[in-house]
Structure 1
């Protein structure tokens, strides 16, 4: 009887998995080696998820294009102005006109070219740090989606176990009702409990499918190319020390980017100051007089007179942007310090709760269900005691999953700030 019940519960799930494998087989043949590697075992590990996301995520691919864009801007900033060729004629009559051909070469003064190069170079450095920050964010998103999928799997497994408990309680109640030892009301209660558990099972199945789809999306795939995910609890790192993270806050991509933005603003200010100095235009050419039949060389110099526009407005704006960048950097550091401390507190609290559930609460709740069920079979307890024990166990399992989710959320927030936390704690 127990074997038949097990087949009843798991057969639809197995058929669903088989259909997923067949339906995804053609897609996997086109998706490249990363997805093919995942499909070989049909159980996705967190390392495979990260590797696939870094190789296929379109947002990260678009961010990597910024490197080439910054290289082009840097190249353009170093170019000197093009010369200008001009031709003019005095008098339109052929026998008396004078024609002049000139080459005009602008010469930048005040260090404008060097200032432009400095601005473009700092922007190029900022692109590299921004790409690092986006990789950290993607890594954190993959971990979050992976753990959400693992949690959904656990919730579905617990829902199936709860269904077994409810079915067992219903059979015991029906047996006692048939023997005249219990009221039919207890059978009704058992049926209501079973219906509630079945609803929870359907919700768990829906949540698992949604979590799988979100994980596939962040990995850069239109559909999940896996049947299940590995046990995420084994790969969660230990909570790092607060002093270690605070001492390395300056190494975070966000704070380095904020510091570099100050340098960018200062370089822009230098460029605007250089723009106050007008450029010199050197002209060299030849003039031919048809009447005199004579050609003469022409040399000229020209320069704007900075009488009204001395670029004073742009200089003022650039100076204020520099001050703003300093304030934003200080605000970022203050926010990061606060977020790190509160996140570590959440992480440690959640880990304590998880340990308490594993060591005490869940075993005690499971033992209470077994004891109440055996006592009800022997007539020592009524079915309300069994229902209460079952609900306590289900509630404890739900809280346990929530504690794991809170610990994961804290880990992911630290990952977004620092990147690979495990590697950070190993680095002296």
Structure 2
């Protein structure tokens, strides 16, 4: 059984954009602004890697006389010029360690981008499936309204001939009104779903998005899935949120190494020239400065970095447990929906639709009374809605299994 979206007649009058899920995902990847912002964040972190590798700029220090009885007097006997150039040399591999931290942050930003992409893509797919589901229910109500509407017109003529009571005629019209109200409720549910799809696709108009779902429903009922251990391993290997937790632990380990390096003093060296203010004229020397780390040896930051490693390790274990539980719950949900749905339902649905037509004819022929007909119609409507919901819930469970494993376990097209 193949699932397709049937739009309401009012919606069909608008511009309609018919899209399969792969086509919608392609537009989504090209235009979604949230993805674009996340990509810019990756680029910003890449620039910080380059920045961390740069040397500090040298410092130029100069001192010249301005006034010694005369302004700016410089000749062979008077005047003083002092020039010094200082270069900071970072020790203990601080630059490379800082570059490693920037590399870690870039990897985390990339994983965060993948996680945003994964979540938004799942939202898009879920909305497309839900729009198709609501469209199918809308089509069901439209068909019923069309048939009952014809019946109301015919019964109006019969009423005017005096062959049916006003009570029966009004009850039939009330049934039509109830169906029309149900259709309005379905269309109202479609409005926010359509709005979210357009937001994700960044469409610039109000075109109605008509999903074209070609996933085979019967195949989902009989689809086999890998064992739980295999699915959990797949999820831990593929999911970006688990990768973020692992990368954060690496970041904290590298940060501890960097904090320990900061405890080592940096060296400042440079030449200097003094024209007349030293013990000899035109003095040339070498300046070297080195802080004495007697009090501040970065002890607090080192202890904080050590604690952050323990925190990140705990968070990684917690993330692994969360993902494992998600996979197990989703697998159980999909298998349950497989048991709820079965091949007999497809045959039952077809038989029920045939029975609906037979009941219409029976009522028109006055073989059944209005009460029996309306009771059947209510039962038919509720049963068909529940059957459609079970089918779409199976499809959503399959797509959720793909989401929690971040793999195409059960292709939804």
Give TM-score scaled by structure 1 length.
0.81
Q: 1:242-266 CA distances to partner (integer Å, 9 max, x unpaired)?
A: 4331121221222122111110111
Q: Does 1:298 align with 2:294?
A: no
Alpha-carbon spacing, 1:401–1:78, altered in 2? closer, same or farther (3 Å): same
Per-residue CA deviations over 1:175-234 (Å, capped at 9, x if unaligned) read 775676654322222111100111122233343444333212111213345563213544
Question: Following superposition of structure 1 onto structure 2, how do residues 165-244 of structure 1 map, counting pairs within 5 Å?
Answer: 165-170=147-152, 174=156, 182-225=164-207, 228-234=210-216, 238=223, 240-243=225-228, 244=230
| Residue in structure 2 matching 1:316, options 282, 288, 303 | 303
CA distance 1:369–1:212, change in 2 (3 Å): same
Number of residue-to-residue matches in the alignment: 395
| Paired residues for 1:64-83 under 5 Å | 64-83=39-58
* 2:9 aligned with 1:13: yes
Aligned to 2:133: 151
Give 1:140 shift. Answer: 1.2
Relative to structure 1, the CA distance from residue 292 to residue 341 in structure 2 (aligned partners, 3 Å threshold; closer, same or farther) is closer
Taking the aligned partners of 1:214 and 1:424, their CA distance within structure 2 comes to 23
1:164 aligns with 2:150: no
Number of the residue aligned with 2:36: 61
Q: Secondary structure at the match of 1:50?
A: helix
Give the Cα–Cα distance (whole angstroms) in 2 for the partners of residues 222 and 355 of structure 1. 41
| Contact 1:351/1:407 (8 A) holds in 2 | yes
Q: Which residue of structure 2 aligns with residue 107 of structure 1?
A: 89
Instruction: Note the aligned Cα RMSD (angstroms).
Output: 3.2
For 2:3, the equivalent position in structure 1 comes to: none
Contact kept, 8 Å, 1:361 with 1:396, in 2: the verdict is no
Structure 1 residues 424 and 103: alpha-carbon distance in aligned structure 2, compared to 1, 3 A threshold? farther
3-state SS, counterpart of residue 105 of structure 1 = strand
Q: Which has the higher helix share?
A: 1
Residues 340-361 of structure 1: CA distance to partner in whole angstroms, max 9, x if unpaired?
Answer: 1111222233344343674254
**Can you list the C-alpha shifts for 1:150-198, whole angstroms capped at 9, x where unaligned?**
1222122111012124325535655775676654322222111100111
